[in-house]
Amino acid sequence: MSIWARISGSVLVSLASLSLGSSVWAAPLSIKISSSLPEQSFAGVFLREFKERVETALPDEVELEIFMSGALGSEQDVLQGLQLGTHMATLSASGVTEINQRTVIFDLPYLIESRDQIPVLMASPAGDLLREGFEGTGARLLAVWDNGFRVITNNVRPVTTPADLAGLRIRTPSSRFRVEMFRELGANPTPLSFNEVYSALDQGVIDGQENPADVVVSARLPEVQDYLSVSNHIYLPTYLLFSEQTLAQLSPDAQATLEEIAIEMGDWSRAWGEENDQTIMAELAEIMEINEVNFAAFQEAASPLYNSSLFIDAIGADMIEATLAALGTN
């Protein structure tokens, strides 16, 4: 064999090795996505559906690993990690106010009356302002999904008016805005990580908590709570957030597909939530005492928050004005 034949053969072997190495290097990007909620919650349902859709559309580019129940850290830890690039993605809710205070708009009580208002809001200038609020944080908002209207549970008495909250130790997320809301309503708000709620209720450290009814079931709270009051005091969406550093590892086309699926999932999640509410409340009625509240009394008690400097300074007058205009309530 001539020297040129030997060289040509070596080159072909090298190219084959390079090709093999490239195929290994081009394996799908494994993205860890987390939630503080239990696997059986609506968040688990949504993330599993999202995983199936994404991996079907992008089989060679993305693989999603789901971590529930705060397995990767508290909501605050994960959100900080998104900003630093040490966490990849999350489906989060109340804690998002700490990195984008425009999201505090959803903490204004009785702002949202129907899930149908959410896509209208997100397609308006208010939605643009909300998305812009994430710029420079290291986290990108792909879509808002359902979370549901929040209700109040406790062990002491039915809550019909704000006066019934007097003296009750109500767990809130670690959000000064939710704390201020329940203080305004007359309760004794007690911020706790969600992972601590069950044991705190069981041990009598707190009297009650507020969350969507779906979370009441998935977290087994009827085991340690007697009363559920359908206050619907706020509708809070969940935010599907990805680290900018994670998204930068995907092609522009893959990023666009990921976002398109996320937005489609928003509509799917709200339809699922609407149907699930009816099922969940029927189940809860068999094991808890459920009561309606005096909405007018709650709205009146919470109305000062709309003029509170805490809320206005955080949200921004422009965001409040744009939101009220989008909802036709200004």
Average pLDDT, the chain: 92
Residue 18 lies in a domain: no
pLDDT of residue 175: 87
Q: Judge if 142 and 110 occupy the same domain.
A: yes
Cα-Cα-Cα-Cα dihedral sign, residues 125, 127, 133, 138: negative
pLDDT value for 25? 56
d(CA 249, CA 89) in angstroms, rounded, equals 13
Same domain, 244 and 95: yes
174 and 47 in a single domain? The answer is no
Q: Would you say residue 6 lies in a domain? A: no
Answer yes or no: do 192 and 227 share one domain. Answer: yes
Task: Give whole-number Cα distances, 160 to 53, 97, 156, 222, 243, in Å.
Answer: 42, 29, 13, 19, 42
Confirm whether 17 is domain-assigned. Answer: no
One domain, residues 90 and 179: no
Residue 299 is part of which domain span?
150-235+284-327
State yes or no: pLDDT of 18 exceeds 70. no
Q: What pTM, to 2 d.p., does this model score? A: 0.85
Residues 113 and 221 in one domain: no
Residues 220 and 208 in one domain: yes
Residue 187 lies in a domain: yes
* Averaged pLDDT, 224-249: 97
Give 226 or 26, the one with higher predicted confidence: 226
Identify the DSSP state of 8: H
pLDDT of residue 330: 63
Domain count, the chain: 2
Q: What integer is the mean pLDDT of 127-144?
A: 97
CA separation, residue 219 to residues 156, 198, 214, 223, 294 (Å): 20, 7, 9, 9, 27
The rounded distance, in Å, linking the Cα atoms of 79 and 167 is 32
How crowded is the C-beta side of 232, counted as CA atoms within 13 Å?
16
Domain assignment present for 5: no
Q: CA neighbours within 13 Å on the CB side: how many for 4?
A: 0
Considering the domain architecture, whether residues 96 and 208 belong to the same structural domain is answered as: no
Residues 243, 85 contacting (CB under 8 angstroms): yes
Average the pLDDT over 19-32 and give the result: 69
Q: Would you say the C-alpha torsion 118, 93, 283, 233 has a positive or negative sign?
A: negative
Residue 132 placed within a domain: yes
Q: Using CA of residue 123, residue 124, residue 130, residue 135, what is the dihedral sign? A: positive
| Whole-number pLDDT of residue 23 | 43
In tens, the pLDDT along 157-214 reads 999 999 999 999 999 998 899 999 999 999 999 999 898 999 999 999 999 999 999 9
183 and 107 Cβ atoms separated by less than 8 Å: no
CATH number at residue 187: 3.40.190.170
Residue 7 pLDDT level (bands cut at 50, 70, 90): very low
Please indicate, yes or no, whether residues 41 and 190 belong to a single structural domain of this protein: no
Percent of the chain with pLDDT over 90: 88
The answer to whether residue 250 is domain-embedded is yes
The radius of gyration of the chain from alpha carbons, rounded to an integer in Å, stands at: 23
Q: Are residues 212 and 126 in the same domain?
A: no
261 and 135 fall within a common domain: yes
| DSSP 8-state code for residue 87 | S
Banded pLDDT at 144 (limits 50, 70, 90)? very high
Give the integer Cα–Cα distance in Å for 201 and 205: 6
Q: What angle do CA 263, 65, 144 make, to 5 degrees?
A: 20
Cα angle 167, 169, 174; round to 5: 135
- Does a structural domain hold residue 14? no
- Both 160 and 92 in one domain: the answer is no
